[in-house]
Structure 1
């Protein structure tokens, strides 16, 4: 290897190291700011509770922590959270697979899209919470109903993004590739799918909280298990601290699930994407 090549390689390594160091510093800075905002918010909440606003309405961080501690010691938290996790994850997986498949199929099948798109969009316009009573009638109040409700909610979000991603592939580029002799399977898996993958990932990220919403709405509507049940039960007992505790558990779970989607799945399928 020539001396110029060695110098160039060393320069590239130094540039990469500097970029990584800069990103690490930026992450630490953002983390510090977020922790500061969280501490200030909790401090204001604790101070206002019972002094500026009645505890009955906003509870307090200490009451919320006590409720979480009680649920953790008794095992209630892990039991109910595991039910909600199962409903959310299964609903997300089934809904994402179905939405991705139908969106990709109709995106490639123009005539079929003209036939079915009005029906799908009319169903999408329905508030999903309005389907809960009907799903209870059809599937009962067991875990199946919550999974299906979550899956239906996720389906439409993933479908719309997948369909839009497939339809937005450059038509001129597709024609040029066909002229060069590419088969439809090669076009589908080597051109259309990679081009639409960014849209699909946006749909998956967007649908994560909605999968949780579908599961929790089902639990609140009719259930004796799950974090949604804890919210309903705590609110029925006028336990504001317990209600806030259950909401915070849902927030943490949603953030963790979204982190898995964005870091594990996206990096696995979008390794080619250049990081900013």
Structure 2
């Protein structure tokens, strides 16, 4: 009777797995260190007179301004107005971009007919449209929503259109041979295949929706973060201007985290590679 030699369990993949698990923490530490270095250099430069605080303020003053706004409570009313405008622009623009993108990707003749018109509309400078929207919709919320819509729509549309066009035609043909209807193809083939493209556009669209709301408020409004920034610029208060930008940056980062969590949940069926392990 022969005795088979005992084999040791394979332990070689353990080291790469540990390195991969530590990578997100390392990335966060490097990001934090970079922020500390940049803000520290800015603060020291302002204290030494290398950076003129009148034009660039200083981080400590900006943090103090944000803290004063939070303690006063008035910032929340302005922030709420800006968020409502941005979210409406994001939702309406994304829904329209998804619908039109799916339609034109599936109906090639319609896409060819509308192609020059879409290119012309996309080439229009958005800032020029903002005063027109103010004339059409007034100084209320809908002029900002309309301006944000023009920024969000084309980003989502082009990503959705390309995502649908990139679906493997062999997969579509095989699914059709099994008797799938167009609605079933949309639900089980096209939508899952295009989700990566769609979420990629949403990450960018969040920032553009905020930009649309703030620019609209900057040009004409009575409340909102853009209104605060405009008022601060009117009295040359650079500290308040930078404080407004800091508040907006924090909000955009938080919303992007929410979008990323939703993406991970909806795409949990997708296999993750080394490039995905360092994601937020």
TM-score (norm 2): 0.87
Structure 1 window deviating more from structure 2 (227-236 vs 187-196): it is: 187-196
Partner of 2:191: 193
After TM superposition, the structure 1 = structure 2 runs for residues 206-225 of structure 1, keeping only pairs within 5 Å, are 206-225=204-223
The alignment status of 1:32 with 2:29, answered yes or no, reads yes
The alignment status of 1:259 with 2:257, answered yes or no, reads yes
Shift of 1:25: 1.9
Distance 1:190 1:16, change over 3 A: farther
What root-mean-square deviation, in Å, do the aligned CA atoms of Structure 1 and Structure 2 show? 2.3
Shift of 1:215: 0.7
Distance in 2 separating the partners of 1:102 and 1:71: 42
Distance 1:63 1:192, change over 3 A: same
After TM superposition, the structure 1 = structure 2 runs for residues 12-91 of structure 1, keeping only pairs within 5 Å, are 19=17, 22-50=19-47, 51-91=49-89
Shift of 1:23: 4.3
Shift of 1:53: 2.2
Aligned residue pair count: 265
Distance in 2 separating the partners of 1:157 and 1:191: 22
Partner of 1:145: 143
Shift of 1:29: 1.3
Q: Residue deviations 1:114-159, cap 9 Å, x none?
A: 1222212211111211110110011001111112211221111101
Unaligned runs of 5+ in 2: 1-8, 274-280
Distance in 2 separating the partners of 1:107 and 1:16: 45
Shift of 1:42: 1.2
Distance in 1 separating the partners of 2:258 and 2:15: 26
Unaligned runs of 5+ in 1: 1-9
Q: Contact (CA 8 Å) 2:93, 2:149: kept in 1 or not?
A: yes
Distance 1:77 1:191, change over 3 A: same
Distance in 2 separating the partners of 1:16 and 1:228: 51
After TM superposition, the structure 1 = structure 2 runs for residues 116-265 of structure 1, keeping only pairs within 5 Å, are 116-263=114-261, 265=262
Partner of 2:5: none
Distance in 2 separating the partners of 1:82 and 1:261: 19
Distance in 1 separating the partners of 2:194 and 2:227: 38
Distance in 2 separating the partners of 1:18 and 1:170: 33
